[in-house]
A and B are shown apart, each in its own frame.
Chain A
């Protein structure tokens, strides 16, 4: 971790950035850390307990010079922010860390997280400096990345509905999934609008279905699979299943995956008339 600490110290000494946002350990738990001065930088760490997506903190540091410690999956969200003109590239310094999987916070055996199973971004695709991985480089599990989605699609629609109804019944509308999501940066969210009220604010069958569908749809072509929504959910709704379905459809229909480049349009803003015409045969009269 010396490399990481040295880099942070260098940036703060030269006044390139105001703050370095990284991870630190307090009483055995890893928490996000703001480091403002070089002498505090010794606390920074990175290991497989660092599950949080620190790109989320850009919501509070939009026009400031900050350095962020980002894993491969987290760095993709920076690309989406840049695509949507939310931040300036020169304002942020990305300390990319090579990562071969983080732990699963919710399971007791502390294996790797589900999202790491099919990871393709061990090294971030956008960075200013990269910290090399120490120790053994375990390759992630290869295979069909959307296997569980395909199996779920094969079920009859009644069973699918019953499954989601049971899952959404648990929802308490705490909006933790929205707060933790680096892509949900709107100042006024659609659920908070009263006139007209599109989404019922009560945690009923209707309201929960509306909220969870709209949340998933707003991430179509933008979700970078950091898995934070599912981790933050206090009632364990499998939100990544919805997100993954959209990622799969985006790939199949429009040949697009989110957060790969900073200078392309998002698939939902864009269109290719020649390619899109193929959709018409199956779905449009």
Chain B
């Protein structure tokens, strides 16, 4: 950690909005299997990816969060049958709108990650952190 800080002074604050049935369990598994990944993400658990309201993303970005990762079950695997399908449409449209308004596309990301994909989860968090680091801090509302 400290070595990294010396190289690059900026450590992004990330928020992960994770589905309770898959991505949250996946992150849990990554922890129990002692995988190492970037520690910048604060996790927010939601009962289903369809619980994600665009207001969550909006509030995060206006509260100076540098990046938000939203993650749910793979299409077809939703515990509530079709929640992630609805969430996908909503997320995609809202992301396009924010990009149009001048927000960097790296700040808002979405992934599919199941409960057994601990390695994938670690990779996703690493790559999101690197991308947000490159983009720089979110100073738009300061």
A residues contacting B by CB (< 8 A) are: 152-153, 157-165, 190, 198-200, 205-206, 209-210, 213-214, 216-217, 220-221, 242, 245-246, 249-250, 253-254, 267-271, 273, 276-277, 279-280, 283-285
| Chain B nearest CB, measured from A168 CB (Å) | 9
| Chain A nearest CB, measured from B16 CB (Å) | 12
Q: Does B110 contact A (CB under 8 A)?
A: yes
CA distance A152 to B102 in the complex (A): 10
Which residues of chain A are near B31, meaning CB under 8 Å? none
Given A209-B62, A213-B58, A285-B110, answer yes or no on A276-B89 (Cβ-Cβ < 8 Å): yes
Q: Report yes or no: B97 in contact with A284, Cβ–Cβ below 8 A.
A: no
Given A217-B97, A284-B112, answer yes or no on A157-B85 (Cβ-Cβ < 8 Å): no
CA distance A220 to B92 in the complex (A): 11
Q: Which residue of A lies closest to B95 (CB)?
A: A283
Q: Report yes or no: B92 in contact with A285, Cβ–Cβ below 8 A.
A: no
Q: Which of these, A164, A205, A214, A276, contacts B58 with CB under 8 Å? A: A214
Which residues of chain B are near A210, meaning CB under 8 Å? 58-59, 62
Name the prevailing secondary structure of the B interface residues. helix
CA distance A246 to B90 in the complex (A): 12
Q: Report yes or no: A283 in contact with B92, Cβ–Cβ below 8 A.
A: yes
Which residues of chain B are near A198, meaning CB under 8 Å? 55, 58-59
CA distance A205 to B112 in the complex (A): 33
Which residues of chain A are near B100, meaning CB under 8 Å? 152-153, 160, 242, 245
Which residues of chain B are near A277, meaning CB under 8 Å? 75
Given A206-B141, A276-B85, A284-B111, answer yes or no on A157-B99 (Cβ-Cβ < 8 Å): yes
CA distance A78 to B51 in the complex (A): 29
Q: Report yes or no: B111 in contact with A250, Cβ–Cβ below 8 A.
A: no
Q: Report yes or no: A285 in contact with B124, Cβ–Cβ below 8 A.
A: yes
Assuming A161-B101, A242-B97, what are 13 further A-B pairs, CB within 8 angstroms?
A152-B100, A160-B100, A161-B140, A205-B141, A217-B54, A245-B96, A268-B90, A277-B75, A279-B92, A283-B110, A284-B88, A285-B110, A285-B111
Q: Report yes or no: A268 in contact with B141, Cβ–Cβ below 8 A.
A: no
Q: Does B103 contact A (CB under 8 A)?
A: yes
Q: Report yes or no: B95 in contact with A157, Cβ–Cβ below 8 A.
A: no
What are some 13 contacts across the A-B interface (CB < 8 A)?
A157-B99, A161-B140, A164-B101, A198-B58, A205-B141, A206-B62, A209-B101, A210-B62, A253-B93, A268-B89, A277-B75, A285-B110, A285-B124
| Chain B nearest CB, measured from A3 CB (Å) | 42
CA distance A216 to B99 in the complex (A): 13
Q: Which of these, A164, A242, A269, A276, contacts B88 with CB under 8 Å? A: A276
